[in-house]
Chain A
Amino acid sequence: MSALPRAAELGLIACPVCGLVCRNVAGDRQLDGDGVGDAMACPRCGSLLRRRKSNSFMRTWALLIAAFLMYIPANVLPIMRTASLNDIDDNTIISGVVELWRAGSPYLAVIVFSASIVVPVLKFLALGILLTSSQRSSAWARLQRARLYRVVELVGYWSMLDVFVVALLTALVRFSVLSRVEPLPGVIFFGLTVVLTMLASMSFDPRLIWDGRNSDD
């Protein structure tokens, strides 16, 4: 037992909206043992009271796996078709990056590469690490893991770069015969990946990082 008591140990739970501190109902997982998580509500404002986000691990895992599955077709399928007068070019994310690099825009290539390859992959890794370590109630580098989670949350907003590029180009480059840009199915899968990773990071409860048998500050 640590020196500083936690709310759970004191049998308390605070409402995140009105700040009312309630008595925690003993055992918050499954109140009546029917396997379905029951929810507590704040007796004053009626907002949801949760010691931890319910089924956080399961949800996060499910969404993360779904995101990963979507990430495969997002990379395999072409995301964009650029059709000019004498050429029709279907590009996947990687081939687009390669083409940008070859066309002499290495900075742009790096930006696109990091936004659409590095960030999602790092997100998968980060969430995976967070999940496994938290599930094992590991005490390893808790502060760093908490920071990592915040970074993941922050970066999530910027992951839609590719989708924005395709959407913008499709709307702007419409010179009928001369050149045009069309979105291809890959971009939908990429968008789904981003959405699912964001949902996954949202469903992860960072408080789980600090739960542990021999939790220490």
Chain B
Amino acid sequence: MTESQTRNPRAEGGALPQPVVERRRFNASLIWLIPALAALVGLGLVVNNWLQAGPHVTISFQSAEGLEAGKTQVKYKNVVIGRVGRIELSEDRSHVLVDVALEKNAAGFATADTRFWVVRPRIGLGGVSGVDTLLSGAFIGADVGDSKEPRDKFTGMEAPPAVNHGAPGRSFVLHADDLGSLDIGSPVYFRRIQVGRVVSYELDKDGKGVSLHIFIDGPHDRFVTRETRFWNASGVDVSIGASGLKLNTQSLATVLAGGVAFQDPPGPHDATPAPQDNAYTLFADKGLAMAPPDGEPHFIRMRFDQSMRGLAVDAPVEFLGVEVGKVVSVRLDYDEAKQRFPVVVGAVVYPQRLGSAYDKLEALARERGENPDLSQLIGRLVEHGFRAQARSGNLLTGQLYVALDFVPNVPKVDFDPNARPLLIPTVPGSFDKLQEQLADMVDKIDKIPFDSIGKNLDHTLAGLDATLKQVNGETLPAFKDTLQGVQATMGSANQALSADSPLQQNLGDTMEQLQRMARSLRVLTDYLGGHPEALLRGRRPDASPSSAPATPSQGNTP
């Protein structure tokens, strides 16, 4: 700052004072820095926005329920990776198209195998998920795959995927006859610990079964070996055995929602972990799953000549109490020669279920140099009385089962080992036998001559009647007279025995005399005791009056 002028206003003497001129150091045009800065900030925002903007993808969903344009977020592992920009209907109005602006760092999600789904609260028997969305609103979940192929159109899933990409574990395929109560997300148990879940299911192409894809989480997937058996653990399994009532369930959840359990079979087996997507059979229960493999099924046929009421398809075929197969068909046939309608029962049997017995039979057949085929083996057995028989399994319901058994004393039959399917000779069932025996008994009862027996009985009864009349008319009055006579006799006897009768008095006198006689006899014996010589010499005169002897002189000799 340079002061070029004096500060005294009155210096110029009456004239107006000159202002002090000060040098400015800054160029006024520096003010343009402010708009430049503002422009820079604005430009920075634009550039930042442009840099932040990731790719736009379009996802189609069945409905836009819970989605909100400009608000709904896209999350991966609960990290926001994008935001829904626009929601519009597709041209054919069958679904909605959701435009999602992904963030720059989420550009990798715009690849071919990325999956998108809407996370909504889901409440099912298997559990509750997405509760947080109740408050925060729905969001779109994403799961990215390995693909590098860029893509910007996706079809959203209606349900969240059961397994996220890259989760440790392995998936396997189960084949079952039907789905049962299983569903996507149904748990898979190993020793009652949940180790996986059902990922998806589909009908087989031929429609004859269901294929289930399950995913076992690592590290438990190593427990799935090539020999592992899977079974449907849904519901409650109640069995009554020798040890009492047994109730078997996996968990309360499976009772309601179903589940799958697996385990290795007991005994030695191949314990190498199974490869990815190995296929297994899903058994109906643990017992079936743990049973040794059935081997090749054989179809057999049986002809029964009696009614097969109570024999249903799936009824068991038992050999000596071991279930070896099941009935697959029950059909009527017509026998022209006999004019009868025999029942033809078809069944599949699994000889492997006989275990070592079958192996031994086979070995024996080989030793004999015969064809160890089932038909040949059965041919030998038939010679020894091997027959099929329909037996009653349940007396109350009349359910029948087919028993293969050795029946003693049966007539020999022709057996054709080359017939296909094999025709097993039959004998009437035990219940039928009982019926026959009953019929026999009835026949015999029929033959009893009830007519003549009745007639004879009638005659006999008439005779009896006449006899009784005679007894009534003649015998009974006579009997009465006799009784009266007896009564009179008794009356006189009574009189004779009364206290004041002469008989009594005589008796009293006699007794007195007898008493007196006994007394004198005692005196005599006393005297004789003292004087035995008196027997010879007679009684001596009394020496003194003190020893006054009795006078039984007249009776001293006995």
- Our verdict on whether A and B bind, yes or no, reads yes
- A residues sitting closer than 8 Å to B (CB atoms) are 12-13, 20-25, 31, 35-44, 46, 49, 54-55, 58-59, 62-63, 65-67, 69-70, 72-73, 77, 85-89, 192, 196
Kindly specify which of B19-27, B156-164, B210-218, B429-437 makes contact with the partner chain.
B19-27
Flag if B21 contacts A31 (CB, 8 Å). yes
Kindly specify which of B32-40, B85-93, B247-255, B543-551 makes contact with the partner chain.
B32-40
Instruction: Tell me which of A12, A35, A63 contacts B34 (CB under 8 A).
Output: A63
Question: B192: CB under 8 A from chain A?
Answer: no
Smallest beta-carbon distance B50→chain A, Å = 13
Flag if A39 contacts B135 (CB, 8 Å). no
Kindly specify which of B9-17, B366-374, B517-525 makes contact with the partner chain.
B9-17
Flag if A62 contacts B19 (CB, 8 Å). no
Q: A39 and B15 in contact (CB under 8 A), knowing A63-B31, A88-B71?
A: no
Question: B136: CB under 8 A from chain A?
Answer: yes
Flag if A62 contacts B31 (CB, 8 Å). yes
Smallest beta-carbon distance A190→chain B, Å = 13
Q: A55 and B19 in contact (CB under 8 A), knowing A36-B26, A44-B9, A70-B42?
A: no
Flag if B9 contacts A43 (CB, 8 Å). yes
25 contacts across the A-B interface (CB closer than 8 A): A20-B17, A21-B16, A23-B16, A25-B21, A36-B23, A36-B25, A36-B27, A37-B24, A41-B19, A41-B20, A41-B21, A43-B17, A44-B17, A58-B32, A59-B28, A63-B34, A65-B38, A66-B37, A69-B35, A73-B42, A85-B135, A86-B134, A86-B135, A86-B136, A88-B71
Q: A49 and B19 in contact (CB under 8 A), knowing A35-B27, A86-B135?
A: yes
Chain A residues near B18: list those with CB within 8 A.
22-23, 25, 43
In the bound complex, what is the Cα–Cα distance between A42 and B38 (angstroms)? 36
Instruction: Tell me which of A13, A46, A86 contacts B137 (CB under 8 A).
Output: A86
Flag if B22 contacts A41 (CB, 8 Å). yes
Question: B45: CB under 8 A from chain A?
Answer: yes
Chain B residue with Cβ nearest A31:
B21
Flag if A23 contacts B15 (CB, 8 Å). yes
In the bound complex, what is the Cα–Cα distance between A46 and B32 (angstroms)? 29
Flag if B28 contacts A65 (CB, 8 Å). no
Question: Can you add 11 more A-B contacts, CB < 8 Å, to A40-B19, A73-B42, A86-B136?
Answer: A13-B19, A39-B21, A42-B19, A43-B5, A43-B18, A49-B19, A62-B32, A63-B31, A67-B38, A69-B42, A89-B71
Interface residues of B in 92-116 (CB under 8 A from A): none
Flag if B21 contacts A66 (CB, 8 Å). no
Flag if B20 contacts A40 (CB, 8 Å). yes
Chain A residues near B469: list those with CB within 8 A.
none
In the bound complex, what is the Cα–Cα distance between A55 and B27 (angstroms)? 10
Chain A residues near B38: list those with CB within 8 A.
65-67, 69-70, 192, 196
Scoring B15, B19, B37, B45 by chain A CB atoms within 10 A of each residue's CB, the highest score goes to B19
Flag if B24 contacts A63 (CB, 8 Å). no
Flag if A54 contacts B28 (CB, 8 Å). yes
In the bound complex, what is the Cα–Cα distance between A210 and B45 (angstroms)? 41
Q: A22 and B35 in contact (CB under 8 A), knowing A37-B24, A38-B24, A41-B22?
A: no
In the bound complex, what is the Cα–Cα distance between A72 and B45 (angstroms)? 11
Flag if A39 contacts B24 (CB, 8 Å). yes
Flag if B9 contacts A20 (CB, 8 Å). yes
Chain B residue with Cβ nearest A76:
B45
Chain B residues near A37: list those with CB within 8 A.
24, 28
Chain B residues near A65: list those with CB within 8 A.
35, 38
Chain A residues near B16: list those with CB within 8 A.
12, 21-23
Flag if A43 contacts B7 (CB, 8 Å). yes
Q: A38 and B23 in contact (CB under 8 A), knowing A62-B35, A63-B34, A66-B35?
A: yes
Flag if A196 contacts B9 (CB, 8 Å). no
Chain B residues near A21: list those with CB within 8 A.
16
Q: A69 and B27 in contact (CB under 8 A), knowing A21-B16, A22-B17?
A: no
Flag if B31 contacts A59 (CB, 8 Å). yes
Question: B557: CB under 8 A from chain A?
Answer: no
Chain B residue with Cβ nearest A70:
B38
Question: B356: CB under 8 A from chain A?
Answer: no
Chain B residues near A85: list those with CB within 8 A.
135
Instruction: Tell me which of B17, B26, B28 contacts A23 (CB under 8 A).
Output: B17
Flag if A40 contacts B42 (CB, 8 Å). no
Flag if A46 contacts B135 (CB, 8 Å). no
Chain B residues near A54: list those with CB within 8 A.
28
Contact with A along B312-341 (1 / 0, CB 8 A): 000000000000000000000000000000
Chain B residues near A35: list those with CB within 8 A.
27
